[in-house]
Amino acid sequence: MAFPFEVEVVAVDHKVFLGQAVSLVAPAVDGYVGVLRGHAPLVAALATGILTITPAEKRPVIEVAVSGGFMDVTPDRVTILADTAELAEEIDLERARQARVRAEQRLLAGASDIDITRAQAALLRAINRIRAAEQPRM
């Protein structure tokens, strides 16, 4: 029997998830981190990736495309404060594909007036959103 804990996922502009979970896997900058109830206290910076939440209720796994921010873990709660966070099923796939094309074009143009780091980050976010939206739901 799995023991639930509280999970809250908040983006800069909205609350994405609040509820009980039995496990969580988050994209930290040093690699993915798995969390179960009773985890040692931890604060980790988040990278761009897919956050996976296994809810306590019998419903499908929740996937969230996140980028940036941090995660605060206590033995009975996880709080995710992300720069961006979007539920996989709410991602507009066509819009994400268009964002990928725009970022690739900026990088391929090689113009001296573009911010390469910003364009690379935009490309990574678009690819992550596409990956999250296209993953089969469990």
DSSP the chain: ----EEEEEEESS-EEEEEEEEEEEEEETTEEEEE-TTPPPEEEEB-SEEEEEEESSSSPPEEEEEEEEEEEEETTEEEEEEEEEEEGGG--HHHHHHHHHHHHHHHHH--TTS-HHHHHHHHHHHHHHHHHHHSPP-
Domain 92-134 has CATH 1.20.5.440: yes
Same-fold call for 5-88 versus 92-134? no
Indicate the pTM of the whole model: 0.86
Lowest mean pLDDT among 4-8, 83-87, 100-104: 100-104
Q: Per residue in 39-96, pLDDT tens?
A: 999 999 999 999 999 999 878 899 999 999 999 999 999 999 999 999 999 998 999 9
Rounded CA separation 123/129 (Å): 10
* Boundaries of every domain in the chain: 5-88, 92-134
Q: Which CATH superfamily is domain 5-88 in?
A: F0F1 ATP synthase delta/epsilon subunit, N-terminal (2.60.15.10)
**Longest CA pairwise span in the chain (Å):** 57
**CB proximity list for 131: less than 8 A, separation 6 or greater:** 50, 65
